[in-house]
Amino acid sequence: MSLLQTLYGIFSFLGHYPGYAISYLIETVLYLIVISLFLIFMIYLFRKFMARLQLRLGPNRVGKFGSLQLIADALKLVGKESILPKERDDLPYRVAPMIVMVGLFLAFTILPYGSLIGIGSLTVTNSAVTLVLVFAVISIMPIGEVLAGVSSHNKYALIGALRSIAKDISFEVPMMISILAIVMMASARVPDSLSISSIVSAQFLPYAVLQPLGIFVFFTAMVARASYTPFDMGESDSELVSGYSTEYTGMRFAMFYVGLFGSILLGSMLVSLLYLSGYNGPLSTDVGVIWLVIKAMILVLISFTVWLSMPRIRIDKFVNFGWKYLLPISFANLIISGILTLGLGW
């Protein structure tokens, strides 16, 4: 019994197709709300965590321990005047932040979440190719960043967008090859090896143990995807003011900001699903989603620590790093996993 079927049970009087359509719609909207709230919590957590690492107090005025600070900030951003640059390219300028947000939230609806007691399975998309879908949707987001940089008629934004492209090209190939190793390993055990949920079920051992190189490449790629330090060349705030989002204010800027934290959460979820056996935990599988959230949050905290302790890498060095180190490492990982899968029969 899943959430979707529960909803369909309510709307089944509409007939088969309309009933399912409405249940999907309601479930998706529900997820959007939950994930938005979770992202707000994550930004609060980041600010508190950063403050404590830096021997500060962090937000402490609005609400108990400053817990309502983010709500106040969001209200401030919504209420802000939207200042548009005069020589912008209007349509791409307005569409760019939405592309980032849509890409992000679509990716969240595709992930499998395991199940929770009383509700059942929380997964929305039960497709056989969710892995392909997720990475297809993730690669929409850079388009938004590039559009933002090019359309806002600002030199800093333009350089930021160009750096973003160079960065995306250099990490996505190693990322996909490290994914390939996972698919290969999973295909020896389960039929639908392109579906994330079957990859999770195929992990008799977390793939992080079997493919330590793979998780390194993939985590690095996810850091680069979310573009925070050390790989935030696209927005590098000490060089390019704010990179591609320089000319954005108010709600549109907030979309980029939420997109950044959303990417961190998405990356952590993907790493925990693909490499840390996702929603499987030592206890009963009925609390799968809790395991997933715990694993993802640990990874999120690690990401924050990386963010706060590392200097920014230079763009040409990153391109070098991507092609000269990450790509061979991911190939080595592919070969090792091939040997493990075929030679040893794991």
Partner 1 sequence: MTIGIKEVEEPRRRVPLVGVISGMATVGKHLFQKPVTLKYPEEKPDLPERFRFRIYLKLDDCVGCTLCEQVCPNGSIKMQNVHRENPRNKRMIYPDVNFGTCTVCRNCEEICPTDAIYLTHVFETSRTRNNFTYSPEELAMDEDKVKK
Partner 2 sequence: MSELMQLNIGPQHPSTHGVLRLKVKVEGEIIREVEPVIGYLHRNAEKLCEMTYYCDNLVYFDRMDYVASMNMEAGYLEAAEKLLGIPPPERAIYIRTIMNELSRIASHLVWAGAFGLDLGMLTPFFYCFVQREKILRIFTEACGSRQETNYFSIGGVYQDLTPEIVDHVKAFITEFPRKLEEIYNLFAKNDVFIQRTKGIGYLSPEVAIQYGVTGPILRASGVPYDVRKAEPYLLYDRVNFDIPVSKKGDSLARFLVRFEEMRQSIRILGQIIDKIPEGPFFNPKAKKPLMIRLRGDGEVYARTESSKGEFGVYIVGDGGVKPYRVHVRSPAFKNLSILPVLAKDQMIADLISISGSIDLVFGEIDR
Residues contributing to the site for partner 2 (CB under 8 A): 50, 53-56, 155-156, 159, 163, 229-230, 232-233, 236-241, 307-317
Give the Cα separation of 123 and 269 in Å (integer).
14
52 binds, among partner 1, partner 2, none (CB under 5 to 8 A by kind): partner 1
**Residue 97 CA from chain centroid, whole number:** 16
16 binds, among partner 2, partner 1, none (CB under 5 to 8 A by kind): none
Residue 152: strand, helix, or coil = coil
Unique residue bearing structure tokens 């090859």: 177
308 contacts partner 1 (rule: CB under 8 A): yes
Give the Cα separation of 103 and 196 in Å (integer).
18
Q: How far is the CB of 215 from partner 1 (least distance, A)?
A: 13
Interface region with partner 1, contact rule CB under 8 A, candidates 21-29, 36-44, 122-130, 307-315: 307-315
Q: How far is the CB of 232 from partner 1 (least distance, A)?
A: 16
Q: How far is the CB of 265 from partner 2 (least distance, A)?
A: 20
57 contacts partner 1 (rule: CB under 8 A): yes
Interface residue with partner 1 among 18, 52, 126, 328 (CB under 8 A) is 52
Residue 115: strand, helix, or coil = strand
88 binds, among partner 2, partner 1, none (CB under 5 to 8 A by kind): none
Report the b/e string of 21-48 with b at 16+ CB within 10 A. Answer: eebbeebbeebeeebbebbbebbbbbbb
Peptide bond into 142 cis (omega under 30): no
- By C-beta, is 233 or 265 nearer to partner 2? 233
67 contacts partner 1 (rule: CB under 8 A): no
Contact 62, 72 (CB under 8 A): yes
Over 258-318, what HEC string results?
A: HHHHHHHHHHHHHHHHHCCCCCCCCCCHHHHHHHHHHHHHHHHHHHHHHHHHCCCCCHHHH
49 contacts partner 1 (rule: CB under 8 A): yes
Contact 211, 333 (CB under 8 A): yes
- By C-beta, is 311 or 343 nearer to partner 1? 311
Give the Cα separation of 164 and 159 in Å (integer).
8
- By C-beta, is 46 or 49 nearer to partner 1? 49
Q: Which two tokens stand for residue 236?
A: 């590098």
Q: How far is the CB of 68 from partner 1 (least distance, A)?
A: 16
Interface residue with partner 1 among 45, 51, 116, 297 (CB under 8 A) is 51
Give the Cα separation of 150 and 132 in Å (integer).
28
Q: How far is the CB of 307 from partner 2 (least distance, A)?
A: 8
241 binds, among partner 1, partner 2, none (CB under 5 to 8 A by kind): partner 2
Residues engaged in binding partner 1 (CB under 8 A): 49, 51-57, 60, 305-306, 308-310
